[in-house]
């Protein structure tokens, strides 16, 4: 059985004047959310044979926060193709994973990650899938499983075992109220 945990980067700061979107950092709420999600991964005993991530600054900072909350350093494979990747590109990257890696963490950006999860999980009316359809917030994880190799995963072929948003763990990390 293969397990793919899909993590969207934490909340980034739009107030910072950066020349490129690629260099946009996290805001304070994003830093907190990343640490909360790292503790969640640790507490749920999530283990990863491989971590593949976009090298964008907000992803780098998200994974630093995840590592802080998780309590250990993470070995990360940075893949430029994941920066703002479409679901099709993400699926190509998944198909290239080594079959010896049973549990993989994929970290990147929306809308590609949301589209990937929605394409891999059948529309079965489950509350978790409907939550993904409604919104895939920053610093949120989706955990998918399926029998077979990485190269065999296809549309509708995975089970959505978990969908956890930062606000599910700490209500202060929910949407800003206006």
Instruction: Give pTM, 2 decimals.
Output: 0.95
**58 appears as a binding residue in the annotation:** yes
Q: Which residue has the tokens 């993400």?
A: 90
pLDDT of residue 178: 40
Tell me if 108 is assigned to some domain: yes
| Cα 88 from Cα 116, distance rounded (Å) | 8
Tell me if 177 is assigned to some domain: no
Give 88: exposed, middle or buried? Use CB within 10 Å, 0-12, 13-18, 19+.
exposed
Tell me if 19 is assigned to some domain: no
Tell me if 156 is assigned to some domain: yes
pLDDT band at 18 (very low <50, low <70, confident <90, very high): confident
Tell me if 17 is assigned to some domain: no
CATH code of the domain covering residue 94: 3.40.50.1240
Count of the separate structural domains present in the chain: 1
Q: Which two tokens stand for residue 18?
A: 């950066």
Cis peptide before 126 (omega within 30 of 0): no
Tell me if 178 is assigned to some domain: no
pLDDT band at 19 (very low <50, low <70, confident <90, very high): confident
pLDDT beyond 80 at 176: no
- Helix, strand, or coil (residue 115): helix
pLDDT of residue 16: 66
Domain extent, residue 106, equals 2-12+25-172
pLDDT band at 175 (very low <50, low <70, confident <90, very high): confident
What average pLDDT does the segment 79-96 reach?
97
> What is the H or E stretch that residue 142 is in?
strand 141-146
């Amino acid at each position: 059985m293969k397990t793919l945990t899909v993590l969207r980067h934490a909340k980034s700061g739009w107030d910072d004047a950066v020349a490129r979107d690629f260099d946009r950092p996290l805001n304070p709420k994003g830093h907190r959310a990343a640490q909360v999600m790292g503790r969640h991964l640790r507490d749920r005993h999530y283990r990863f044979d491989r971590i593949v991530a976009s090298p964008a600054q907000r992803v780098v900072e998200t994974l630093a926060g995840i590592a802080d909350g998780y309590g250990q350093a993470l070995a990360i494979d940075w893949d430029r193709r994941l920066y703002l990747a479409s679901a099709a590109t993400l699926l190509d990257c998944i198909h290239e994973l080594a079959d010896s890696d049973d549990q993989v963490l994929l970290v990147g950006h929306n809308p590609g990650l949301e589209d990937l999860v929605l394409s891999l999980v059948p529309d079965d009316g489950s509350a978790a899938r409907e939550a993904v359809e409604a919104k895939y917030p920053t610093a949120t994880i989706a955990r998918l499983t399926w029998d077979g190799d990485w190269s065999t995963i296809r549309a509708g072929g995975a089970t959505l075992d978990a969908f956890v948003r930062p606000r599910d763990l700490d209500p202060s990390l929910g949407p800003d109220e206006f």
